[in-house]
Every structure is written in C-alpha cells, then in structure tokens.
Amino acid sequence: MAHSFSFDGTDMADYGITVVGGEWPFAKVGVTDTVNVPGMDGGYTYYNEAAPAEFMMEVVCEGDDANDLIANLQSFAAATPTDTVGEIYLDGITGYYWKARRVSDIRGLPIGMHALQFEIVWRMDEPGPFPVTGT
C-alpha cells in the first residue's frame, strides 16, 4: 500500500495521492498569556491548550493519463473542501489523527504528463494529534 491519507473517511489513494513529505505536528503547543485588567491592581495569567496552527503535506497525484490526472485532482479538491474541518488519518499511523481543513489551492510541479507534485497546507483550529478512541 502506498503511503497516503484519508480525510473524513475518504481514502486519498483512490485519487492517486501519495504522501512524499511534509512538516507534521506531533505535539501540541500551548500559549500562555497575561492580561492586565484596566482599573484593577494586577492581572491574571491563562494557558490556552489549543493554539491554532498550520502544517504542510507534500504529495504526488498520479493518473493513468493527463485526463485521469485532472479528474483525480478535481476529485481530491471536491473531497477536501476549504470550508470543511475533517479528520486526517495517515497510512501507517493507526493510533492518532489530526483535525484540519485545507487552506491551500492545488498547483504544483508537473512530473511528466501523468503526475503532479504539490503541497497541501492544512489549518488546525484545535492542534493534534488526537488519540483514536473506541473499539
């Protein structure tokens, strides 16, 4: 099986997508902030566990011919709408997933007439990874 991923239950390998690299967050980064309240002596400090973040995934999309490649890219775009937060599962990592939405367009470096290499930028409002729970 090629290294791919699924988004909201749709396997991107069905659209010829293979993950070839990226910058994945594997630990959450929190934000500590101090707020001063006008008219009061002192302030308070709070810790935010979910600092929004983005991460990048490098992929290659392949097709049987140029028409199939374009169809795969269009199907990928339809399956990962920019206004939908979905669960992302990487092939080979069965215990964790990420929740994000695609914020990048689809353009990249052609590899012949049957493949395109491009980067996907994902926006996480709640940074992961999250453990898979249940049976």
Distance separating the N- and C-terminal Cα atoms of the chain: 24
Q: Give the pLDDT score at 121.
A: 96
The whole-number average pLDDT for the span 88-114 is: 93
Q: Which residues contact 21 (CB under 8 A, 6 or more apart)?
A: 57, 58
Q: For residue 59, what are its two tokens? A: 């992929």
Q: Is the pLDDT of residue 29 over 90?
A: no
* Cβ–Cβ under 8 Å, residues 100 and 55: yes
pLDDT tens readout for residues 31-84: 666 666 677 666 656 555 667 788 999 999 999 999 999 999 999 999 999 999
State the pTM of this model: 0.79
Domains of the chain: 5-131 (2.40.30.200)
What type of residue is 109?
A: L
In angstroms, what CA-CA distances link 60 with 45, 68, 102, 114?
Answer: 45, 14, 16, 10
Structure confidence at residue 51 (pLDDT): 72
Look at residue 125 in the predicted model and tell me its pLDDT: 87
pLDDT at 134 over 80: no
pLDDT in tens, 3-16: 999 999 999 999 99
Q: How confident is the model at residue 1 (pLDDT cuts 50, 70, 90)?
A: very low
**CA–CA gap between residue 22 and residue 121 (Å, rounded):** 10
- What is the structure's pLDDT at 44? 59
Instruction: Give the model's pLDDT for residue 106.
Output: 93
If one compares 129 and 35, the residue with the highest pLDDT of the two is: 129
